[in-house]
Chains A and B, each alone.
Chain A
Amino acid sequence: MSAITVEQLTKEFGDVTAVDELSFTVESGELFGLLGPNGAGKSTLIKMLVTLLRPTAGTATVNGHDIHDERSAVRDSLGIVFQEPALDEELTGAENLALHGRLYGQRTDERNRRIDEVLELIDLEDERDELVEHYSGGMKRRLEIGRGLMHEPSVLFLDEPTVGLDARARRDTWEYIQKMNAQSGISIVLTTHYIEEAEQLCDRVAIVDDGDIVALDSPAELKSSLGGDVVTLDLESDDSIPRLCDHLETASWVTDYTTAAGTAHVTLTRGESRIAELVHLADDADVRITSIDLHRPNLESVFLSVTGRTFDEREGDGAVAGTGTGKYEGEQHTASTDSPCHNDAAPSVERQQ
Chain B
Amino acid sequence: MKRIDPLGIYGLWLRDVTRFVRTPSRIIGALSMPLLFLVFLGFGFEGAAIPGLPEDVDYLEFLVPGIVGFTMLFGASFAGLSILSDRDVGFLKEILVAPVSRTSIVLGRIAGGSTTAFLQGILILLFSIPLGFRFTSLLSLPLAFVFLVLIAVTFVGFGIALASQFRDSEGFMLIVQFIIFPLFFLSGALFPIQGLPGPVQYLAYVNPLTYGVDGLRAVLIGTSSYPVAVNAGVLTLSSVGMVALGAALFERVESV
A contact set with B: CB distance below 8 Å: 47, 50-53, 71-72, 75-76, 80, 82, 84-91, 95, 98-107, 147, 323
Q: Report B1-38 residues with CB < 8 Å from chain A CB.
A: 1, 5, 7-8, 10-12, 14-15, 18-19, 22-23
In the complex, the answer to whether B18 meets A50 with C-beta atoms within 8 Å is no
Query: 19 new A-B pairs (CB below 8 Å) besides A47-B256, A52-B93, A80-B97?
Result: A50-B97, A53-B256, A72-B99, A75-B99, A82-B93, A85-B89, A90-B23, A91-B18, A99-B12, A101-B11, A102-B11, A103-B12, A104-B98, A104-B99, A105-B8, A105-B99, A107-B7, A147-B94, A323-B256
Return chain B residues, CB-CB under 8 Å to A52. Answer: 93, 96-97, 255-256
User: Which residue of the partner chain, among B5, B15, B90, B96, contacts A105 with CB atoms under 8 Å?
Assistant: B5
Q: How far is the CA of A102 from the CA of B8 in the complex (A)?
A: 5
* B interface residues, tally (CB under 8 Å): 26
In the complex, the answer to whether A102 meets B99 with C-beta atoms within 8 Å is no
In the complex, the answer to whether B90 meets A86 with C-beta atoms within 8 Å is yes
Smallest CB-CB separation from B7: which chain A residue?
A: A102
Q: How far is the CA of A147 from the CA of B14 in the complex (A)?
A: 18
User: Which residue of the partner chain, among A75, A84, A88, A107, contacts B98 with CB atoms under 8 Å?
Assistant: A75
Please name 24 pairs of A and B residues whose Cβ atoms are closer than 8 Å in the assembled complex, sorted by A: A47-B256, A52-B96, A52-B256, A53-B256, A72-B99, A75-B97, A75-B98, A76-B99, A80-B97, A82-B94, A84-B90, A85-B90, A86-B93, A91-B15, A91-B18, A95-B15, A101-B11, A102-B7, A102-B10, A102-B11, A103-B7, A103-B12, A103-B100, A104-B99
In the complex, the answer to whether A72 meets B91 with C-beta atoms within 8 Å is no
Return chain B residues, CB-CB under 8 Å to A95. Answer: 15, 18
In the complex, the answer to whether A99 meets B89 with C-beta atoms within 8 Å is no
In the complex, the answer to whether A71 meets B1 with C-beta atoms within 8 Å is yes
B contact set with A: CB distance below 8 Å: 1, 5, 7-8, 10-12, 14-15, 18-19, 22-23, 89-91, 93-100, 255-256
Residue with the greatest number of chain A CB neighbours at <10 A, chosen from B5, B10, B19, B91: B91
Smallest CB-CB separation from A95: which chain B residue?
A: B18
Return chain A residues, CB-CB under 8 Å to B97. Answer: 50-52, 75, 80
Q: How far is the CA of A171 from the CA of B8 in the complex (A)?
A: 35
Smallest CB-CB separation from A107: which chain B residue?
A: B7
Return chain A residues, CB-CB under 8 Å to B100. Answer: 103
Q: How far is the CA of A88 from the CA of B89 in the complex (A)?
A: 8
User: Which residue of the partner chain, among B22, B90, B93, B94, contacts A100 with CB atoms under 8 Å?
Assistant: B94
Return chain A residues, CB-CB under 8 Å to B94. Answer: 82, 86-87, 100, 147
Residue with the greatest number of chain B CB neighbours at <10 A, chosen from A89, A95, A103: A103
Interface of B is mostly: helix
Least CB distance from A91 to B in Å reads: 7
Residue with the greatest number of chain A CB neighbours at <10 A, chosen from B23, B98, B255: B98
Least CB distance from B10 to A in Å reads: 6
Q: How far is the CA of A98 from the CA of B97 in the complex (A)?
A: 16
Return chain B residues, CB-CB under 8 Å to A85. Answer: 89-90
Least CB distance from B53 to A in Å reads: 44
Least CB distance from A256 to B in Å reads: 47
In the complex, the answer to whether B1 meets A86 with C-beta atoms within 8 Å is no
Smallest CB-CB separation from A90: which chain B residue?
A: B19
Return chain B residues, CB-CB under 8 Å to A82. Answer: 90, 93-94
Q: How far is the CA of A95 from the CA of B94 in the complex (A)?
A: 14
In the complex, the answer to whether A103 meets B11 with C-beta atoms within 8 Å is yes
User: 5 nearest interchain CB pairs?
Assistant: A102-B11, A103-B98, A75-B99, A72-B1, A86-B90
Q: How far is the CA of A50 from the CA of B112 in the complex (A)?
A: 27
In the complex, the answer to whether B1 meets A88 with C-beta atoms within 8 Å is no
Return chain B residues, CB-CB under 8 Å to A47. Answer: 256
Q: How far is the CA of A346 from the CA of B18 in the complex (A)?
A: 56
Q: How far is the CA of A103 from the CA of B256 in the complex (A)?
A: 20
Return chain B residues, CB-CB under 8 Å to A91. Answer: 15, 18-19
Smallest CB-CB separation from B1: which chain A residue?
A: A72
Return chain A residues, CB-CB under 8 Å to B95. Answer: 103
In the complex, the answer to whether B256 meets A99 with C-beta atoms within 8 Å is no
Least CB distance from B11 to A in Å reads: 3
Return chain B residues, CB-CB under 8 Å to A104. Answer: 98-99
Residue with the greatest number of chain A CB neighbours at <10 A, chosen from B8, B93, B255: B93
In the complex, the answer to whether A89 meets B89 with C-beta atoms within 8 Å is yes
Q: How far is the CA of A89 from the CA of B100 in the complex (A)?
A: 22
User: Which residue of the partner chain, among A72, A105, A147, contacts B7 with CB atoms under 8 Å?
Assistant: A105
Least CB distance from B175 to A in Å reads: 25
Smallest CB-CB separation from A323: which chain B residue?
A: B256
Residue with the greatest number of chain B CB neighbours at <10 A, chosen from A84, A99, A102, A107: A102
Least CB distance from A66 to B in Å reads: 14
In the complex, the answer to whether B91 meets A87 with C-beta atoms within 8 Å is yes
Q: How far is the CA of A75 from the CA of B99 in the complex (A)?
A: 5
Residue with the greatest number of chain B CB neighbours at <10 A, chosen from A76, A89, A105: A105
Return chain A residues, CB-CB under 8 Å to B14. Answer: 99, 102
Return chain A residues, CB-CB under 8 Å to B8. Answer: 102-103, 105
